[in-house]
Amino acid sequence: MSLIFYITQVQFDFGARALLPQECERSGITRPLIVTDAGVRAAGVLDKAIEALPAAMRAVVFDQTPSNPTEAAVRAATALYKQHQCDGLVAVGGGSSIDLAKGVAIAATHDGPLKTYATIEGGSGKISPATAPLIAVPTTAGTGSEVARGAIIILDDHRKLGFHSWHLVPRTAI
């Protein structure tokens, strides 16, 4: 197994998804919300990620990630996160799913509207270590969101804003 250590620990190998349970444990995630999109589900990739997790984890799935993450989708996923008392996130998909999961990591653990935490609103310093832990399972190459500290989300007022904090960096990319 090959291993590269950045701020995000990157695990890669054929079948590396089998490492998902140990990476959840290392990150303190016992009840994950899996954030993905309909295409990843339809391709069967989501099923492979779920199969890698022990049944006792009772993972919850949000598969309605739009191609450009929105505040409305963050709200919907955050409601699911809170309803099922999740304690961390696993993003399975491309940059959109990973960015949406970063939005949930903020919204589920911080008070006030999401825009409060946007970089342009002076919110980067307000994103605290309380941010929910995130593991990324990227299915595309190119965005780099699995090792980045930022997320782009379209707010309800139609502004496409960046959210940046070292607390948003995924703990692991598989």
The CATH number linked to 68 is 3.40.50.1970
- Per-residue confidence (pLDDT) for residue 141, from 0 to 100: 80
CB contact set of 84 (below 8 Å; sequence gap of 6+): 31, 33, 58, 60
Whole-number Cα distances in Å, 93 to 42, 88, 121, 169, 172: 12, 16, 28, 16, 14
Query: Any idea which residue has 């904090």 for tokens?
Result: 165
| Span 48-71, average pLDDT | 95
pLDDT of residue 2: 65
Tell me the two tokens of residue 170. Answer: 């995924």
Q: Which of 5-9, 30-34, 135-139, 168-172 has the lowest mean pLDDT?
A: 5-9
Instruction: Please give the pLDDT value at position 3.
Output: 60
Q: What percent of the chain has pLDDT over 70?
A: 97
Q: Residue type at 45?
A: V
pLDDT for 117 beyond 90: yes
pLDDT at 143: 81
**Residue 44 domain boundaries:** 2-173
State yes or no: pLDDT of 63 exceeds 70.
Answer: yes
Domain total of the chain: 1
